[in-house]
Amino acid sequence: MADRPAPDQDALSRIDTTVPHSARIWNYWMGGKDNYEVDRAAGDAYRELAPNIETMARASRDYLIRTVTFVAGELGVRQFLDIGTGLPTYDNTHQVAQRVAPDSRIVYVDNDPLVLRHAQALLTSTPEGVTDYIDADLREPEEIIEAASRILDFSRPVALMLMGILGHVQDYEEARSIVRRLQAALPSGSCFVHYDSTDTDAALKEAQQGYDDTGAIPYVLRSPEQIGAYYEGLDVVEPGIVSCPLWRPEPGTSPEPTDVHGGVARKP
């Protein structure tokens, strides 16, 4: 684990508690405590229109657990670049990966001041592995790769994780460009692990528009076809790009699909 000073007062002063924030609302929906009244009010309003949203939030975390377990276990990847970390809840990437392979190295990336405030909680690691945090913006992929290369070895496979973050890039072509540029830095055998919410449910679209109208950072719901384009040039692992609960569900379960789609793919 890299040495890092405690978050300073400047980071704390940048936390805006007057406008709802997606990471804090997501934390609220998953039963976390790192949120404010403005977030809970926005989360409740969203849920009134789209009652399935809490199920989606928890399904996305269960999907993260299954995908990271698969990538670290069956695919043997030992390096993870998780961009758009969000607030820590349960079974975060480093905990899942290092449970499978204690020597895993994880780099989290976010530029949210509240996430920075909780960076110390994220920066735990097994003695054999590494967990670190980079304060950087998704829209600057080259800077992210440069900073991450101080911790990760980009001559060996890396799992690039973009979990529910690309919808915050409003321009679709910019989102695709970011994905391509990040993937271009990865060596053969690396993985792309991803999910985003889809635009296929009218209630979800209405709820999202109401949230965007609060002045919070908008999130763009996209079609399954648009989401699928992020995987171009990669070898998509079975069962493909699907509703997250349907991606390799636990044996004996009968999951219902939700409006969150994702998949795992390998770079040839």
Tens of each residue's pLDDT in the chain, 268 residues: 444 444 445 555 567 778 888 888 888 888 888 888 999 998 899 999 988 888 888 899 999 999 999 999 999 999 999 999 888 778 999 999 999 999 999 999 998 877 877 777 777 899 999 999 999 999 999 999 999 999 999 999 999 999 999 999 999 999 999 999 999 999 999 999 999 999 999 999 999 999 899 888 899 999 999 999 999 999 999 999 999 999 999 999 999 999 999 999 999 9
Cα angle 229-257-39, degrees, rounded to a multiple of 5: 85
User: Which phi and psi angles does 105 have, rounded to 5°?
Assistant: -115, 125
CB neighbours of residue 239 within 10 Å: 12
Question: What pLDDT, on a 0 to 100 scale, did the predictor assign at position 13?
Answer: 56
CA 188/CA 185 separation, integer angstroms: 10
- Is residue 206 a part of any domain in this protein? no
- Is residue 15 a part of any domain in this protein? no
Interacting residues of 72 by C-beta distance below 8 A, sequence separation 6+: 78, 80, 96, 97, 100, 101, 104, 159
Q: Which of 135, 208, 202, 144 is nearest to 170 (CA)?
A: 208
Query: What is the total residue count of the chain?
Result: 268
Instruction: Assess contact for 148 and 129: CB atoms under 8 A.
Output: no
187: domain CATH number? Answer: 3.40.50.150
Cα angle 167-171-175, degrees, rounded to a multiple of 5: 60
The residue range of the domain holding 238 is: 52-201+222-267
Instruction: Assess contact for 179 and 190: CB atoms under 8 A.
Output: no
Question: What pLDDT, on a 0 to 100 scale, did the predictor assign at position 6?
Answer: 45
- Is residue 174 a part of any domain in this protein? yes
CA 175/CA 170 separation, integer angstroms: 8
Tell me, what amino acid is at 36? Y
HSE, CB side, 13 Å, CA atoms: give it for residue 183. 23
- H or E, element range at 104: none
Question: What pLDDT, on a 0 to 100 scale, did the predictor assign at position 4?
Answer: 43
pTM assigned to the model? 0.90
Paired sense of beta strands 260-266 and 242-243, if any: antiparallel
Residue 76 class from Cβ within 10 Å (0-12 exposed, 13-18 middle, 19+ buried)? exposed
- Is residue 4 a part of any domain in this protein? no
Instruction: Assess contact for 155 and 239: CB atoms under 8 A.
Output: no
- Is residue 247 a part of any domain in this protein? yes
- Is residue 146 a part of any domain in this protein? yes
User: Which phi and psi angles does 82 have, rounded to 5°?
Assistant: -105, 105
Domain count of the fold of the chain? 1
- Is residue 3 a part of any domain in this protein? no
